[in-house]
Amino acid sequence: MRHLLSAADLSRETAIALLDSAEVMAETADRPHKKLPALRGRTIVNLFFEDSTRTRISFEAAQKRLSADVINFAAKGSSVSKGESLKDTAQTLTAMGVDAVVIRHGSSGAPHLLANRGWIDVPVVNAGDGTHEHPTQALLDAFTLRRRVYGHDSRCRGLDGLRVAIVGDVSHSRVARSNAWLLTTLGATVTLVGPPTLLPHDRSAFPVNFATNLDDVLRESPDAVMMLRIQKERMHSAFFPNEREFGLTWGLTAERFAAMSPHTLVMHPGPMNRGLEICSVAADSPQSTILDQVANGVFVRMAVMFAVLTGNEDV
């Protein structure tokens, strides 16, 4: 695998190979010495043009566990604020001998520009681009689901027959988009649920079901319900009357959670707006996978960095 730009590009075989590689990486986490020498001598730059807590730290932890040298770049405080372009920023950094670039950017398609325009000649990993895609998040969500359902015996498996509801601010969510593609590729049935104003306009573009009534969807006892953050920073007009009404209609409230099947897993990519799209009772319950998702993110990103930097044909 040369780059990881989008979950929509991943074949079932490649996705399963990455998840299996992440399982191997996870085995190292219980050792007293967690570090593997796999990427010793390689330099990776993490280019973050948008705010991030878990994704940025997770990539850095993954790269360090594989013994890579890591350079962290935040647009704030850099020459980007003097007007330097993405192309010049990336070329400047790769001229310093960087072997791979991880990029998060507010503009959809920025990682594709870096990878496909010939500006730089190193692997590019998309850590979230605008409202477009967040492929490593979808991989860690798939990994988490697979482990919860099949336990440690999950190798070589997809997510065949599982039903997953992705709920809330779908239209601004790169997490929803990447999961819609990846979970479907792995054999799950995905339903996107939210107010009509926050569901994609062109529904034929996605291989999923759509619904507006969350209670109807939950009554069907899906295997997992993935709650999305309301992305106020991407909303330039009113998509729903007010937060209270949104929470009551499309949030995982305490009442809804109490009525829900005890077998439905509760997922959230973080950061959470507690009390808006998800209540604390649900987020902190044994049904919640939220901290597993964070932990698994490191293993999945180790697998991705290893795959793009070693050019392993299998993954």
Please report, as ranges, the residues that interact with ligand NCD according to CB under 6 A.
54-55, 128, 134, 137, 174-175, 229, 231, 269-270
Dihedral angle sign, alpha carbons of residues 43, 294, 276, 228: positive
Of 65 and 174, which CB lies nearer to ligand NCD in the complex structure?
174
Closest distance to ligand NCD from the beta carbon of 312 (Å) = 25
Closest distance to ligand NCD from the beta carbon of 92 (Å) = 25
CB 179 within 8 A of CB 164: yes
CB 178 within 8 A of CB 237: no
What is the H or E stretch that residue 23 is in? helix 12-27
Of 43 and 58, which CB lies nearer to ligand NCD in the complex structure?
58
Closest distance to ligand NCD from the beta carbon of 74 (Å) = 15
Of 42 and 105, which CB lies nearer to ligand NCD in the complex structure?
105
Residue nearest to ligand NCD according to CB distances in the complex? 229
Closest CA to 5 of 156, 99, 129: 129
Closest distance to ligand NCD from the beta carbon of 175 (Å) = 5
Q: What share of the chain is helix, strand, coil (3-state, %, to 5)?
A: 45, 15, 40
Closest distance to ligand NCD from the beta carbon of 153 (Å) = 27
Dig out the tokens for 223 from the structure. Answer: 């295997």
Question: What is the secondary structure of 131-166 as a DSSP string?
Answer: TTB-HHHHHHHHHHHHHHHHGGG-TT---TT-EEEE
Give the span between the Cα atoms of 150 and 162, in whole angstroms.
11
Of 15 and 227, which CB lies nearer to ligand NCD in the complex structure?
227
Closest distance to ligand NCD from the beta carbon of 147 (Å) = 18
Of 54 and 64, which CB lies nearer to ligand NCD in the complex structure?
54
How distant, in Å, are the alpha carbons of 38, 112, 210 from that of 297? Answer: 18, 22, 27
Of 231 and 285, which CB lies nearer to ligand NCD in the complex structure?
231
